Amino acid sequence: MGFRAAAGGGRWVDVAPGRVGRWVDGFTDRHGPPAVTSEAYGLMLVAPDGETAELHTPPGVPETADLPGFVAAVTAPRRLGLLLARKGAVAVGVADGDELTVSKVDTRYVQGRTAAGGWSQQRFARRRDNQAKAATADAVDLAVRLLLPAVGTLAALVCGGDRRAVDAVLADRRLAPLAALRAERLLDVPEPRHAVLVAAVAAARAVHILVRQYGRAPS
């Protein structure tokens, strides 16, 4: 379970699906039985002492209007596709529950920016652009081979890394069925490697909870 400060006050808590029920029980013990309302993002809990908790529905989980239903939904098995991309690196995978069952990582060199000017800078820029296009093409081919065949079984596609790199991959028309499953959540990940892909499964399934005092809205 991870914590991070939230803009405007409060804190974000990332809770594994199997621990959400216990987290809610702890929230209730500390602050009293909360009132529960259904929101576009998931559920809002408002405790008698003014503490609030926004439970954000993870990718691929159906909307629920009550707390027991939410806990049951986030813990239910579901299949997720994963697409992580940064510069010349890409990682794709399929997760059944918390287990990564299909995975592949590919890396292609893409030259960094150069401080040179004039004709030399233009030449390097063209070379870098060609390298980036080749890396994107490799990433598309990987997604076509590993993710597209599973599209009918996926509850959602969760992406991570650089948004522009991910957008470039999913812009390929062959991946339109995958793009239609793309979740709003974008994972903040380093350069994709197999270990990063494994860790991304937990991040994709986690319940994001925003905890703050009632009335302390972001400024």
Tell me the average confidence (pLDDT) per consecutive run of 10 residues in the chain, 219 residues long: 77 95 96 96 96 97 94 96 91 96 80 50 59 78 95 98 94 97 96 95 96 60
C-alpha distances in angstroms, 138 versus 134, 135, 167, 170, 185?
6, 5, 14, 12, 24
pTM attached to this predicted model: 0.85
Residues 113 and 53 in one domain: no
Residues 172 and 97 in one domain: yes
pLDDT at 124: 55
- Whether 173 is in a domain gets the answer yes
The domain containing residue 23 runs over which residues? 2-77+206-213
Amino acid sitting at position 97: G
Residues 26 and 73 in one domain: yes
Residues 123 and 21 in one domain: no
CA–CA gap between residue 41 and residue 215 (Å, rounded): 18
pLDDT at 55: 98
Which of helix, strand or coil describes residue 9? coil
Identify any residues that bridge with 73 across adjacent strands, giving them in sequence order: none
pLDDT at 181: 98
